[in-house]
Amino acid sequence: MRYDAGEVITAMVTPFNDKREVDYEKVESLAYHLINTGSDAILVTGTTGEAPTLTFDEEIEILSSAKRAAGTSGKVIMGTGSNCTETAVVTAKRAAKEGADAILSVVPYYNKPSQSGMIEHFSAVAESVDLPVILYNIPSRTGVNMLPETVKTLARKYENIVALKQSCSDFDILTEMRTVCPSDFAIYSGDDSLTLPMLSLGAHGVISVASHLFGKEIKSMIRNFKTGDVMTAKNMHLKLYPIFKKLFMAPNPVPVKAALAYKELIEDYVRRPLVELTKAEKADLIFTLDSI
């Protein structure tokens, strides 16, 4: 494998205080908690981290806080994607300067670029830094799907394009990606509920939301599958499946922040246009959480 960020990468939330300012102490304490509860790496300033509402300066300070917490025990990846190629390049360069271990770069959203446009976009990002680049394909949010041939072209052309976060339940596309991409190119599930079936098609691991709460369990599921104990892996998947789904009962990261607040790890504040769960929604979520 050309670059291994581990099997469980947590897409970390950004803690806010009651003024909806970034709580950097909680950023640090949450990152430390994640690294010590099953996460091999943490991804900051992604969608789960409410990146669209963060300033550049906030993003850099979040990265610095997470790196202090992780130390040498885990990698810190920074989400640097944008639907503007120039902005994506500038942010990638800032991530490199500030010591990110790798970057995650999403397919440009809203613009709906062609496949050739995606190649030009990610080529510009890859050529701008020496950091490992993880591509992120999430058609439900971007409005366009990055196809296997596009991923293959980028993975074969750029040694530092090392992995793909795939948030799409089309397993034919996943199979084709695994077939055409280099063997040392890692594919990660971008949805907790799809991790186990994606492992069966050659995925390396997951970029997870549920690992905020069940990192060790998710890590054991992956390890058991890879060492041949498929039944135990399946049973863990079935056990965690209700919370996998419940964490998306409202727009991410609203439910996982409510769950973390219930566990007294952070407050559940989110930035607008997101809103916190209602009392009834919180009760529903906590019932599922306590049932695991």
What 8-state DSSP symbol labels residue 245? H
- Residue 165 among the catalytic residues: yes
Structure tokens at 60: 């850099």
d(CA 259, CA 256): 5
d(CA 210, CA 193): 9
d(CA 35, CA 71): 10
Catalytic member of 75, 165, 219, 246: 165
Cα 273–279–284 angle (5° rounding)?
A: 105
Catalytic member of 24, 109, 136, 188: 136
For the CA atoms of 238, 168, 85, 250, what is the dihedral angle to 10 degrees?
A: -60
Contact indicator for 222, 7 with CB cutoff of 8 Å: yes
- Residue 136 among the catalytic residues: yes
Q: Which residues are catalytic?
A: 136, 165
